[in-house]
Structure 1
């Protein structure tokens, strides 16, 4: 067993070999009490703290206030209305003096006002027409017990032929976009863009250039806390420098015996029980753990006894059963997750984001996992009627989730939006997709087309109003990180967090430099 940090150094890991020293620890029976070493007290470490303030940007209304009577089309119109001023300002600045053959480009208010042969630019919503995208006929086929096709890795038609089209639509209608300029641009359904070009003889819009909203305003560090202090006329105390945050995703707890060892190693590492004194000093600076989705493995219901034959195979299905079935419920995964968190919480605060496999709503934004799932850990949660500005040590949040941590604005998801964008594009670079999401100012651009979401009636909550300092996405194939820069000097650290169950990797982020470090926990088999 070994723990490997980002620099490639290895350290043997075994719980009995080292325990946290304590000034009150009794001397070892074989130790020489007269030696000078035994008279020295053991060092005592204190975990560094960090200010934490969650936001409620993705919290849905409760009870009767949450309804699904509104149409999903309203989300696209609201998204266009929210982002159109930003795109229009950038496009006007870039194309105000653009000329071809002494003809100056002019703005067109509606897509259907474009005239053939005229150089113009127009703003609208991208819609990708792809025959391989999911459709309602697949759901009907499943309902009638027709064998449905397996889930597709990509929506793109193999070979680049087969009817894939890029459309631009607004309240008036649609334009089909063509041209070589589109091949170098990352586009998915839901992105708000401005396109420059002209309509050709076939009625298609030949694109010469394209603009997106780009990164929004970025708050300065400590802006929110300084603003609250100024409003209450409180003096701002001197803030402690340094500190780190750990980000992990894809714990994939299934309740099997195979989960125990790797989770125990992760637990011992975060508690400082599996390292030397130097490593313990570094671990003590980790002030919070962020679990970014898929804490539980994908559910596999246990078939009832009357459905299992003598050969151990499942019998032919009977009539569909409704209601609660105790034989199909396995409490081991949630119990194991609860014990894992409750072991950490006395020493390390935890922020938990749900994922695609976790027991909460399937549509975005996923709401927090209910506290009933955590009989031991919920003791560390804030009371239900407390202010969001006063969170407990255990914060079960939404997906996506935004919060302020040690003055920085964090934004994270469990990975579903990036995984869905991946199906639209030909490339494999996840960091490019994450950067595109920031420049589109959309946390979930493909919702509600191919990603389930709540039909917001008063505007699209997935529109970014402020640029985060850190944007992390969980459950990605591998660890990657970069810095995305905006036109106004914005800098956002983008982090793709790999699945811990598949890679054993944990990302450690420094609060002062926002530089990531990768820690890998491995088990060597003889």
Structure 2
């Protein structure tokens, strides 16, 4: 260092007052869409078949309206396609269309009854990346979409079912679209001599009605007898992140420390601090902890039994490690005085396994829960909102729909020829289903057995659809038939990529801030 620069380091305190940046206010309204009943009102004795029938009853009118408009004048050889109310009403050689629920009979899809029968005789195979017959165990290989199989459902049998029966679908048309178990569709074609339905065209419910911006807040104000204002507050940016993967291991928190300093405006130049001040809310979309589930798998229990150890179900004080949750709690508590946080649970987080996952309990956050609304306190948004997965909420007037990633990951397993996560997310929007494969529980994606209606059906179209814990950042805008526009965001795992997504709440245009740690040597 040159001698001329020493004076810059040793100076008396300055009387110059530094400018203090004000964080942009957050305008946030949580929605209880995926909250389950509490206590004795929550039941698990119901059958999952009722949930499929409820889903069909909810979406059948919408898909039938689209189908009737599309096929009203469709003719082949002078015969007009007629509508059938039930699967059993379809007759051989008659041109018709019918609405129902798709079901995929996949040879390699997990079967809970087979798993229980085999676990005492052979070791369980590793988890499969795909459920098709063309791929090997846990990996990809060359596949081709067979006639009669959907896009990537090689070797699968595709059925259409309703409350009256089931009809097998076939035809080359099915290979051109994304099809999974649980989707509600209308198909048009004819039944052949083998009893299979040759599909000539297919329709889905497509995007539902999309509310206007600030409609949720204006509706709440009207219900409370307050005047609806036309003067809107200044919107900032929403920070979205997923896959923090806090492990509690010393030396594994450098990326988290960099993120913390950035969000608090304690690092970088004044321009970057101004950008941090414009962030009005942080959304954490699942997997905040690293493999923290306290429930051992059947394979782990079987291995323990063979070694002569005792089987331990649920909480085990001898193996429980509080370090991950303590580190996460301390990290959140450092942020919360400065920025409000919405926390969605994920597959690895300590809450219910089945969807919709309920909020992580306040007992897990002894330092951060002071920023939550108490259970007996006033209704409304808390500064720290531990919410469900999936979750719906309104931020700066926009309707958000977010998940921790499990539904998209499960749809991915059904589609061996499709690797595009954005394409799957768009399909879920057009199916109007937040978790299309959920009622296949307990085989592929576990869920609560709803009875009064399927909560995974989208009642209204979101403005932002975000999915956490994806392989990489991707974004697109999905447009609907009535002018709906949805910003779709695939949010990567922060622990692997170091990427934070910033969404401008005026333009809904995202940008990525990347944090990197360089290894020495």
- Tell me what 2:299 maps to: none
Whether contact under 8 Å (2:360, 2:387) holds in the other structure is yes
SS of 1:343's equivalent in the other structure is helix
Deviation at 1:50, TM superposition (A): 1.8
Whether contact under 8 Å (1:129, 1:166) holds in the other structure is yes
Deviation at 1:32, TM superposition (A): 6.3
SS of 2:439's equivalent in the other structure is coil
- Tell me what 2:262 maps to: 269
Determine the C-alpha separation between the residues in 1 that align with 2:229 and 2:11: 50
- Tell me what 2:301 maps to: none
Deviation at 1:225, TM superposition (A): 1.1
The change in CA–CA distance for 1:102 and 1:301 in structure 2 (over 3 A counts) is closer
- Tell me what 2:10 maps to: 30
Q: Deviations over 1:59-103 (max 9, x none)?
A: 000000001111110000000000000001000000011001111
SS of 2:199's equivalent in the other structure is strand
Aligned with 2:86 (options 110, 113, 120): 110
- Tell me what 1:331 maps to: 322
Determine the C-alpha separation between the residues in 2 that align with 1:470 and 1:139: 39
Determine the C-alpha separation between the residues in 1 that align with 2:305 and 2:158: 46
Q: Which ranges of structure 2 fall in alignment gaps of 5 or more residues?
A: 1-7, 135-142, 147-153, 297-303
Determine the C-alpha separation between the residues in 2 that align with 1:523 and 1:470: 31
The change in CA–CA distance for 1:196 and 1:315 in structure 2 (over 3 A counts) is closer
- Tell me what 2:391 maps to: 401
Give the aligned CA root-mean-square deviation in angstroms: 2.1
- Tell me what 1:83 maps to: 59
- Tell me what 1:18 maps to: none
- Tell me what 2:239 maps to: 246
Determine the C-alpha separation between the residues in 2 that align with 1:241 and 1:201: 65
Determine the C-alpha separation between the residues in 1 that align with 2:314 and 2:354: 21
The change in CA–CA distance for 1:143 and 1:419 in structure 2 (over 3 A counts) is same
SS of 1:501's equivalent in the other structure is helix
Determine the C-alpha separation between the residues in 1 that align with 2:314 and 2:216: 46
- Tell me what 2:434 maps to: 443
- Tell me what 2:151 maps to: none
Q: Which ranges of structure 1 fall in alignment gaps of 5 or more residues?
A: 1-27, 304-312
Aligned residue runs from structure 1 range 361-376, under 5 A: 361-376=352-367
- Tell me what 1:133 maps to: 109
Whether contact under 8 Å (1:302, 1:327) holds in the other structure is no
Determine the C-alpha separation between the residues in 2 that align with 1:280 and 1:506: 16
Query: 1:170 and 2:146 equivalent?
Result: no
The change in CA–CA distance for 1:501 and 1:145 in structure 2 (over 3 A counts) is farther
Query: 1:211 and 2:203 equivalent?
Result: yes
Determine the C-alpha separation between the residues in 2 that align with 1:412 and 1:467: 12
Aligned residues: 486
Whether contact under 8 Å (1:72, 1:448) holds in the other structure is yes
Determine the C-alpha separation between the residues in 1 that align with 2:17 and 2:313: 63
Query: 1:349 and 2:340 equivalent?
Result: yes
Aligned with 1:392 (options 382, 397, 401): 382
Deviation at 1:451, TM superposition (A): 0.8
Determine the C-alpha separation between the residues in 2 that align with 1:503 and 1:376: 28
Whether contact under 8 Å (1:418, 1:433) holds in the other structure is yes
Whether contact under 8 Å (1:192, 1:212) holds in the other structure is yes
Deviation at 1:145, TM superposition (A): 5.9
SS of 2:312's equivalent in the other structure is coil
The change in CA–CA distance for 1:399 and 1:145 in structure 2 (over 3 A counts) is farther
Aligned with 2:331 (options 335, 340, 344): 340
Whether contact under 8 Å (1:250, 1:294) holds in the other structure is yes
Q: Deviations over 1:407-453 (max 9, x none)?
A: 00000000000000000012100000000000000000001212100
